[in-house]
A and B are shown apart, each in its own frame.
Chain A
Amino acid sequence: MATGSVKLLGVWASPFVNRVEIALKMKSVEPEFILETTLNKSELLLKSNPVYKKIPVLLHDEKPICESLVILQYIDDSWPNGPSILPSDPYDRAIARFWASYIDEKWYPLVVEFMKAKGKEEKAVVLEKISEGNLLLEEAFIKINKGKSFFGGDRIGYLDIVLGSLLGWVKAIEMMDEMKILDETKMPSLAEWDKRFCSDNVVKDIIPQPEKLAEIHRKFHQMKKATSN
């Protein structure tokens, strides 16, 4: 079992930080949470992640690990005695990694593009692309879960964490733009999975409520406007 200090640099509103919090909680590891402020990056962050200067950064025995997907796999490798995050079968692992990559490199950037798009028409164009992605994720879920509750089977796993962590912000954006991104009629299995994921013991105190995230978003933009004037 891994020993040594565990520190997590982050902010509670970042879904990528939430991923790491969920993974550590699965392994019953309680990190020291070092809060970064959004506007000024700390010396520790700049020293620990000189390449990207971004959170989350996990510091295990003061050694930094960066990039949320790398951190999740590191946690799984370092605490092998807790419940597994990645599947045990190599093929299932490859599939999980494939979809995690799809979510982070294709699907979520579209969600961010949606948020930044101006006006209902521009947003509708992006929403069309997201909807195509949603159908792929729904099909993937049905194939991967093998009839069980989560991508990971009976318990949450890698893909549940990767996708689930983003849903707080997806719902916050839905609220702010008053447009549905996740259509339950088109993704019924994932809609049910979403409810199960958010109420899971490991997850429920970590992913912030959409209302709170929407509030933070508003405040952050007010702050940015104020400092740029």
Chain B
Amino acid sequence: MSDQVVLLGTHVSMFAMRVKIALAEKGIQYEYKEENLMNKSPLLLQMNPIHKKIPVLIHNGKPVCESLIIVEYIDEVWKDKSPLLPSDPYKRAQARFWADYVDKKIYDGGKKIWTTKEEDQEAANKEFIEYLKVLEGELGDKPYFGGESFGFVDMALIPYYSWFPAYEKFGKFSIEAVCPKFVAWAKRCMQKESVSKSLYDPDKISDFVVMLRQRLGIA
């Protein structure tokens, strides 16, 4: 039986990158379709009518939405290779908790850095660093959040690394200077082919943010 797998995404989206990593880890062949979010395709609107957002995974014609839900789905369907979540229930719960923490804090925290007014910049930078510090605390001395091997939380978080140069540019600060452990973890992840091939060029992301800021009337 051959599976038909389509991924709707955008190059810059950290959420789409998570799914790309998962698909690469499992060695799944898929068709990628780049969406223009200013002009959403009929396919996207049909497959995700509730949120009209990417990423959407379309497996044999059926849509799965929300990046972490997609990653769990991929793990459950293609279960014979490269597990993405731990098998132990407690470790699974910890993985879900921390991936959810990333979802709750990192996107908005990062966005604040490049959208905020000058007088609020320092506070925005500080808040973001605080979240990274919490994550550093959880990482501890482990090579990955998953322990000895790259896992669910690593996958949820690493795409943001491709946005760090953009955050540093507009926040006018160095993340590595304050969170060296975090950056060391990120570089370790980048040595994996599934990760390095799935993350977008940080320079192109910076260019994208310049354009977004203009469109939002910030710059």
Contact = CB atoms under 8 A, between A and B. Distances in A.
Nearest to B105: A51
Contacts of A91: 59, 62, 64, 73
A78 B59 CA distance: 29
A90 interface: yes
Given A51-B134, A93-B76, A65 B93 contact: yes
A91 B62 CA distance: 9
Given A90-B76, A93-B73, A98-B69, A73 B64 contact: no
Which of A71, A78, A91, A102 has the most chain B CB atoms closer than 10 A to its own CB?
A91
A133 B50 CA distance: 10
A60 interface: yes
Contacts of B73: 90-91, 93-94
Interface residues of A, number: 23
Contacts of A67: 96-97, 100
A73 B96 contact: yes
Contacts of B69: 94, 97-98, 101
Contact of B66 (A63, A74, A101): A101
Bin the interface of chain B by size. 20 to 34
A90 B77 contact: yes
Contacts of A65: 90, 93, 97
B109 to A, nearest CB: 14
Interface of B: 50, 59, 62, 64-66, 69-70, 72-73, 76-77, 89-90, 92-93, 96-97, 100-101, 134
27 contacts: A51-B134, A60-B90, A63-B90, A67-B96, A67-B97, A70-B93, A70-B97, A70-B100, A71-B93, A74-B90, A74-B93, A77-B89, A77-B93, A90-B73, A90-B76, A90-B77, A91-B59, A91-B64, A93-B72, A94-B69, A94-B73, A97-B69, A98-B66, A98-B69, A101-B66, A102-B50, A136-B50
Given A67-B96, A77-B89, A91-B59, 14 more contacts: A60-B90, A65-B90, A69-B100, A73-B92, A77-B92, A78-B90, A91-B64, A91-B73, A94-B69, A94-B70, A97-B66, A97-B69, A98-B66, A101-B69
